[in-house]
Amino acid sequence: MALMTFKPFAAAAVLALSAAAGDAAAAVVDSAASGFTVKIPLHIAAPPADVYRKFLRNVGDWWNSAHTFSGSAKNLSFDEKPMGCFCEKLPDGGFVRHLEIIYLAPGKTVILSGALGPMQPLAAAGTMRLQFSADGDGTRLEVTYTVAGYLPGGMNAFAAPSDGMLTEQFTRLKNYIEHGDPGK
């Protein structure tokens, strides 16, 4: 992506991410010019092992295609291995590495590293931690995404849009697991 085209792209991406938030409750727990943290706690009516497995192995079934570069969530996948890629296939052998697995405790914790979407071309780094724990009749999934970096005007411009997009995605995971349809 050319540097001179980044500003219009970033503005459009922030608007698109903001629109994805819908009626989601804000979970921005910290926000400053140097970065932000969002937390998304969910209760999912399924055992932790099932939630963990469907998070990693069925991402193309629950992720919203509107938040892909290819236009299809079916092009998304996780490699469950050290430095495993949360990647997306693009035409002509292209790809996007969205995040990288840096810690994996099957059924309990996944830690990913990377800056998502419009933050990729910035001087930004992100860490996403997913914790799966038994909670009554299901699973408590807690997603924490922390991003640090530099952006003229402040990285906190991406806090609310990131919260909205991630809240949408993990609500879709919950709906996929509980109802078989991420859009419910």
Instruction: Round to whole Å and give the CA distance between 94 and 13.
Output: 21
Place of tokens 């996944």: 110
pTM: 0.85
Q: What would the two tokens of residue 125 be?
A: 């780094």
CATH level 3 topology of 27-179: Alpha-D-Glucose-1,6-Bisphosphate; Chain A, domain 4 (3.30.530)
Q: Which residues contact 1 (CB under 8 A, 6 or more apart)?
A: 9, 121
Place of tokens 């995605």: 169
Place of tokens 């236009």: 71
Q: List the domain boundaries for the chain.
A: 27-179
The pLDDT tens digits along the chain (184 residues) read 333 333 333 333 443 443 333 333 448 999 999 999 999 999 999 999 999 999 999 999 999 999 999 999 999 999 999 999 999 999 999 999 999 999 999 999 999 999 999 999 999 999 999 999 999 999 999 999 999 999 999 999 999 999 999 999 999 999 999 999 999 8
pLDDT tens for residues 14-39? Answer: 434 433 333 334 489 999 999 999 99
Q: What would the two tokens of residue 107 be?
A: 């059924």
